[in-house]
């Protein structure tokens, strides 16, 4: 999509128009200016006052993550409370599970083999812990520790029957890393040829048995890792920037395969758009002035429950630290 920039310069008319009367030249100038204004306004991102969201009744000081459904559970949200502890919130049951595990970063959550799993950065032993999500408050789950170095939140996704862990490294270039099979005891780190802005993290999803990765540089980037070939490719999507990683999810049943959401750079507005993997570009954009967050939003996949698509769920921590939940910024199939 072309971008038309506003200009303060007066358009220069060809010699033919300069030789005509002032009235004719003025008319042409008005027409040219009007046409430019139409083209410019058509290229601007769509603005909407906001989408309906409700507070889940809990607060956070980081970005939350969400699973749309896991074996009939309905939406489940993982978040870091304002007290620094990791919580798992089951929306359909209105049950908030306390894990008694502290973390400086937000936890991640994913559905694997019909069970919920979560990952968190454990600061004492400096490991990422991966374990099944408890259904009730616990004194601390036994977890598998992965001794990796990161300065941002870990992420999880399930792809082709395998549970993947992702994180941003602390090397000088801040490379992005994947590890597959973390539901058992993975031992191989996959270092991607992608580097992020320090401390901004990444997000993951799966489509056509490939792992899709989104991050910022600060420009929005989307890449794809093919487990079959071990290849990785990526593209800078647009001139849009952020100071937190974008969220990416599957929009099943829609023309475009993905939805992308991010916090605007220099403001707290939520932005959303489509991503077309065949064209490797973003399609359209909307920003919401009433949906504000100082962190990355979380997106779930548009999954059918009871044979009906539920829409793309969104969750974010507001500027008031309340956690807000809503369903689908865009229409769904």
| CA–CA gap between residue 32 and residue 16 (Å, rounded) | 15
Q: What is the DSSP letter of 255?
A: S
Return the ∠ at Cα 238 (arms to 234 and 242), rounded to 5°.
95
Q: Is 102 helix (H, G, I), strand (E, B) or coil?
A: strand
Please report whether residue 1 resides in a domain: no
Whether 29 and 54 map to the same domain: the answer is no
- What was the pLDDT predicted at 331? 40
Whether 24 and 99 map to the same domain: the answer is no
CATH of the domain at 301: 2.120.10.30
- What was the pLDDT predicted at 12? 35
Residue found under tokens 């209105």: 94
Q: Give residue 181's domain range.
A: 48-327
Please report whether residue 2 resides in a domain: no
Tens-level pLDDT at each residue, the chain (333 residues): 322 222 233 333 333 223 334 444 444 343 433 433 333 333 334 555 566 789 999 999 999 999 999 988 889 999 999 999 999 999 999 999 999 889 999 999 999 999 999 999 998 889 999 999 988 887 777 899 999 989 999 999 999 999 999 999 999 999 999 999 998 877 789 999 999 999 999 999 998 899 999 999 999 999 999 999 999 999 887 678 899 999 999 886 555 578 899 998 888 888 888 787 777 777 777 777 788 999 999 999 887 777 777 788 899 999 999 999 988 655 443
Whether 20 and 116 map to the same domain: the answer is no
Whether 258 and 111 map to the same domain: the answer is yes
Please report whether residue 176 resides in a domain: yes
The structure tokens listed for 108 are 């991640």
User: Integer distance in angstroms from the first to the last C-alpha of the chain?
Assistant: 24
Please report whether residue 117 resides in a domain: yes
Whether 37 and 53 map to the same domain: the answer is no
Strand segments (E) across 135-230: 144-146, 155-159, 162-168, 175-180, 190-195, 203-207, 210-216, 219-226
Q: What are phi and psi of 38, to 5 degrees?
A: -65, -45
Whether 26 and 174 map to the same domain: the answer is no
Whether 310 and 282 map to the same domain: the answer is yes
- Tell me the per-residue pLDDT of 28-81, one tens digit each, with 9 for 90 and over: 343 433 433 333 333 334 555 566 789 999 999 999 999 999 988 889 999 999
Give the strand pairing for 281-292 and 46-48: parallel
Q: What are phi and psi of 301, to 5 degrees?
A: -85, 150
Whether 177 and 290 map to the same domain: the answer is yes
Whether 19 and 110 map to the same domain: the answer is no
Where are the alpha helices (H) located in the chain, listed in sequence order? 15-19, 22-43
Please report whether residue 14 resides in a domain: yes
Whether 223 and 256 map to the same domain: the answer is yes
Please report whether residue 3 resides in a domain: no
- What was the pLDDT predicted at 46? 56
Whether 57 and 14 map to the same domain: the answer is no
- What was the pLDDT predicted at 228? 94
The structure tokens listed for 162 are 């395998």
Look at the chain and report how many structural domains it folds into.
Answer: 2
332: left (phi over 0), alpha (psi -120 to 50) or beta: beta
| CA–CA gap between residue 331 and residue 311 (Å, rounded) | 7
Whether 31 and 144 map to the same domain: the answer is no
């Amino acid at each position: 999509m072309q971008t038309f920039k506003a200009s303060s310069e007066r358009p220069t008319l060809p010699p033919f128009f300069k030789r005509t009367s002032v009235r004719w030249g003025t008319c042409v100038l008005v027409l040219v200016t009007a046409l430019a204004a139409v083209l410019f306004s058509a290229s601007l991102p769509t603005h909407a006052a906001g989408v309906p969201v409700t507070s889940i009744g809990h607060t956070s000081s980081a970005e939350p993550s969400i699973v749309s459904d896991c074996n009939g559970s309905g939406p489940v949200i993982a978040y870091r409370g304002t007290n620094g502890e990791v919580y798992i919130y089951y929306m359909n049951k209105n049950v908030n599970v306390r894990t008694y595990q502290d973390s400086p970063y937000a936890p991640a959550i994913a559905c694997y083999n019909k069970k919920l799993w979560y990952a968190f950065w454990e600061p004492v032993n400096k490991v990422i812990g991966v374990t099944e999500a408890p259904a009730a408050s616990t004194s601390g789950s036994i977890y598998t520790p992965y001794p990796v170095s990161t300065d941002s939140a870990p992420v999880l996704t399930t792809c082709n029957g395998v549970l993947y862990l992702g994180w941003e490294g602390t090397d000088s270039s801040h490379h992005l890393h994947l590890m597959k099979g973390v539901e058992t005891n993975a031992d191989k780190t996959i270092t991607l040829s992608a580097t992020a802005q320090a401390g901004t993290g990444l997000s993951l999803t799966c489509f056509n048995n490939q792992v899709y990765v989104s991050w910022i540089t600060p420009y929005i980037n989307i890449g794809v890792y093919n487990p079959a070939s071990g290849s990785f490719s990526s593209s800078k999507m647009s001139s849009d920037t952020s100071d937190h990683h974008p969220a990416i999810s599957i929009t099943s049943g829609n023309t475009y395969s993905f939805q992308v959401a991010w916090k605007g750079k220099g403001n707290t507005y939520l932005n959303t758009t489509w991503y077309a993997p065949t064209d490797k570009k973003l399609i359209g954009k909307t920003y919401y002035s009433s949906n504000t967050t100082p962190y990355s939003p979380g997106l779930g996949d548009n999954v059918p429950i009871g044979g009906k698509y539920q829409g793309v769920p969104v969750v974010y921590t507001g500027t008031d630290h309340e956690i807000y939940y809503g369903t689908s910024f865009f229409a769904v199939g």
